[in-house]
C-alpha cells in the first residue's frame, strides 16, 4: 500500500482550516464578526470543510482510493471560492487562509490522484 505524503499535508491543512476560527478569530465565531465581515455561516463553512478535508485525506492514508482525492479536489476548490459565495471576502485573514489553503489542497489532491508513471509500461508494445 502506497502512502502519499500529499495526503498527510491535506490532513494538516484540513485541521488548520477547522481550527482557524477558534485559534485566530474566536470572537467572530461567538457572533462578534459582523464588524470584520465574517458571519456565523462563514465559521461553519470553515468547520465543516476543514473537517471533511482532514477526514477524507486520512481515509486516503488508510486505504487509497481515487475518489478520495477527487472529493478533496472539489472541497479545496470550494474553499477557494467560498469567501465570495458565503460572504466573508471582506475578512482579509479568513479570505486569504481559505484561498491559499484551498489552492494547496487542490494541488496536493490533484498530485496524489495522478497515477505514478511506470517507465516499463512505455517500453512494452502489443
List the grid coordinates of 54: 482532514
Query: What digits encode the pLDDT tens for the residues 78-113?
Result: 999 999 999 888 888 889 999 999 999 999 888 877
Burial class (CB in 10 A: 0-12, 13-18, 19+), 61: middle
Helices (H), the chain: 5-23, 26-27, 40-62, 66-82, 92-113, 119-123
Cα–Cα distance between 54 and 60 in angstroms, integer? 10
Q: pTM for this structure?
A: 0.76
Cα–Cα distance between 61 and 10 in angstroms, integer? 10
Q: By C-alpha distance, which of 18, 7, 111 is closest to 60? A: 7
Amino acid at each position: 500500500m502506497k502512502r502519499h505524503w500529499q495526503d498527510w499535508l491535506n490532513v494538516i491543512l484540513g485541521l488548520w482550516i477547522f481550527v482557524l476560527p477558534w485559534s485566530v478569530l474566536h470572537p467572530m465565531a461567538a457572533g462578534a464578526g459582523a464588524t470584520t465581515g465574517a458571519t456565523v455561516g462563514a465559521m461553519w463553512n470553515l468547520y465543516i470543510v476543514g473537517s471533511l478535508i482532514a477526514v477524507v485525506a486520512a481515509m486516503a492514508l488508510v486505504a487509497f482510493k481515487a475518489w478520495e482525492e477527487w472529493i478533496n479536489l472539489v472541497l479545496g476548490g470550494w474553499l477557494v471560492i467560498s469567501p465570495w459565495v458565503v460572504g466573508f471576502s471582506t475578512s482579509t485573514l479568513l479570505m486569504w487562509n481559505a484561498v491559499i489553503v484551498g489552492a494547496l489542497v487542490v494541488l496536493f489532491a490533484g498530485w496524489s490522484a495522478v497515477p505514478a508513471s511506470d517507465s516499463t509500461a512505455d517500453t512494452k508494445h502489443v
